[in-house]
Amino acid sequence: MNNLKTAVLLAGLSGLLIALGGVLGGFSGVILFGIIALAMNAGSYWFSADIVLKSTGSKEISRDQDPGLFAMIEDLAQRAGMPMPRVYVMESMQPNAFATGRSPSHAAVAVTAGIRQLLSDRELRAVLGHELAHVKNRDVLTSSIVAAIASAISMIAWMGMFFGGGDRRSGIAGLLAVIIAPIVAMLIQAGISRAREFEADADGAEISQDPEALASALQRIEMGARRVPMNVPESTAHLFIANPFAGMRGAKLLSTHPPTEERVARLLRRAAR
């Protein structure tokens, strides 16, 4: 169901791009800005892991520095049928974690100092299962495609706002398009990200075989994220298991994460089967 929702929302985003291009410049405008956006995001996708890891201040560690964490990730990776990813840590005391990489063979998993202190080994194991599920499902590829289309919509809207022409009859329609289209694109983008989180919760629970531990971890991480701020770029928020800006006012607006209560409820229903 989550994969179907992703496909439907992605089709809607693509349709929005075509419609906006048609209003402002015809299909040629869609092609031009689509190519520009794809080129920009292709570079980001290819180097996504290094970009994200550097921008979040993550530091790679060796097995000797945290043998317990390595053993946990190695076991989960084997269960998921994946190669062992690189392992990183962040000095932040906010409990959180993320995974990145364009494919399972180019993956990296990062955890914060805060999550290592807050969660039990059982809860942390479930969180890491969730993160490996993102990599296995190639969610970085999905988010890159979504970002490319959303970027094209934003660029077309911006060009239409400042350089648009046309007669007065189409002026109002064009103005509404350039204002509304980027907002709708952000809503669809957030919807796709939320669908991928639900999918990673389900697949991560399958990998760790412990949906209850993941549910418990999500609740504790949510509380910790509200209390302890994290200094990371907003563009990386969707990668984390919980919104790193949860404690900020207005964090729920256009959130890339579904409500924790709903995620927990789904996991507990899964555990009761």
List C-alpha distances in Å: 235 to 82, 115, 214, 220. 27, 21, 25, 24
Q: Is 74 a catalytic residue?
A: no
Gap between the Cα atoms of 108 and 101, Å rounded: 6
Q: Which of 131, 197, 199, 222 is catalytic?
A: 131
Q: Which H or E run contains 110?
A: strand 108-112
As given in the structure block, the two tokens for residue 139 are: 């969610």
Which among 229, 264, 265 is positioned nearest to 246, based on CA atoms? 229
Gap between the Cα atoms of 252 and 230, Å rounded: 16
How far apart are the two ends of the chain, measured CA to CA in Å? 18
Q: Assign 203 to helix, strand or coil.
A: helix
**Active site (catalytic) residues:** 131
